[in-house]
Amino acid sequence: MTALERLRTLASTDPALAPMAVLQVEAVEAARGPAWARAVPEMDGARLRDGIPLLHETTLRVDGALALALLRRLARAAAEHAGVLVADALTSEGEAVELIEASITRDTEHLLALADRTGVEISLLATLGSIAAVPLLHACARHGDPLLRGAEWSESYCPVCAAWPTVAELRGLERERWLRCGRCGAGWSFRGQVCAFCGCSDHKDLSYLAPEGERDSRRAETCDCCGSYLKTLATLGALEPEEVLLRDIDSVELDIAALQKGYGRPEKQAFPLRVTVEALGTRDGVKP
């Protein structure tokens, strides 16, 4: 069963995970379309050695109608599974593109302004925006993948979109540690026995939480230096980007266990990413 099929199964059979799974299904299906790739500019792989993500200070030109259609599908899915009616508030291609940009850059002030303008509650709008950005970010990661191979990258944030890692993989028999981005799907090798968020390497401050008998297959690695946790999964090889999304929501019990113990995810941005998203065929926000 593919990751998309498993997400569909969760969306139809698991009441707790269905609200997020149904949104992920829409995002994964949309990401398979070729139009998103046309929004991705050329990237400078030489900047990776300086710790600069590939998307920093780039301009992405997306099909505004495509972005709005996806956002409205997400809004309808949210209405169906969570009882929130927001589709009628999302009518502008410009606002759809704005929301994707604010989500990629984690611009809280911009998100608040959009929430006020559209009348959509901020946490819901942020969720819809983060999911709506997935197809575009997946296209960016596919475009940047050749540049990442063999590149010098020692940072703990994503080399494509600057997000903190969503999960870590322990790959193969060697259990090599790879961090994976849940937004764009990129993966990068990272040293073991160290916190991916603060760099702490003192074994007294590093521990884990795991279900009975599953510590070697999946666990939440915790750090008492910064109070963070990172879900870690044993894999045979690299997960596909949609599989990262699936494994993230399908391991929610690890999030719950970590949160109950007082651990959390970093609140500050990993890197001050600057990205401009424009509707295709526009420049400086004005259509010709």
Q: Is the pLDDT of residue 245 over 80?
A: yes
Per-residue pLDDT, 52:
97
Per-residue pLDDT, 287:
41
Which of the residue ranges 80-94, 149-163, 260-274 would you say has the lowest mean pLDDT?
Answer: 80-94
Per-residue pLDDT, 215:
86
Per-residue pLDDT, 226:
97
**What does the alpha-carbon distance between residue 227 and residue 114 come to, in Å, rounded to a whole number?**
32
Mean pLDDT (whole number) for 171-184: 96
Per-residue pLDDT, 156:
96
Per-residue pLDDT, 263:
98
Mean pLDDT (whole number) for 230-248: 96
Q: Is the pLDDT of residue 161 over 50?
A: yes
* Amino acid code (one letter) for 233: L
Q: Is the pLDDT of residue 80 over 90?
A: no
The CA R_g of the chain, rounded to the nearest whole Å, is: 19
Per-residue pLDDT, 120:
86
* Amino acid code (one letter) for 191: R
In this structure, which long-range contacts are made by residues 24-27, counting pairs with CB atoms below 8 Å and at least 24 apart in sequence?
Answer: 24/131, 24/134, 24/242, 24/245, 24/246, 24/249, 26/70, 26/73, 26/74, 26/77, 26/131, 27/70, 27/74, 27/131, 27/132, 27/134, 27/135, 27/245
Mean pLDDT (whole number) for 220-240: 97
282 pLDDT band, cuts 50/70/90, is: very low
